[in-house]
Structure 1
Amino acid sequence: MGDKSPKSHMSTKAKTLKEKRADKHAKADAREHTEIVPPKAKR
């Protein structure tokens, strides 16, 4: 009798083109974004 358990390599789904583009844009935005940190006040 064959193995009825789900195959691990079958469960991983390839990313769609839409998901790949979204990841690419998110990385680009993160690289361009610089967080503005106000200077600490002297006491």
Structure 2
Amino acid sequence: MPDKSPHTHQQKKAGKTIKQKRADKKAKGPIEGAPDPVAHLKKRS
């Protein structure tokens, strides 16, 4: 017969959430300098 008494489960504390990671990354800003304004454009033929 299974034990049906309530058990306390120890959950490990999660690290930073994705939102927190993104906010930290955005706050740091671009590290490598100014991005190339043309790099994101697709080549049109």
Q: TM-score, normalised by structure 1?
A: 0.32
Larger Rg: 2
Q: Which has the higher helix share?
A: 1
Q: TM-score, normalised by structure 2?
A: 0.30
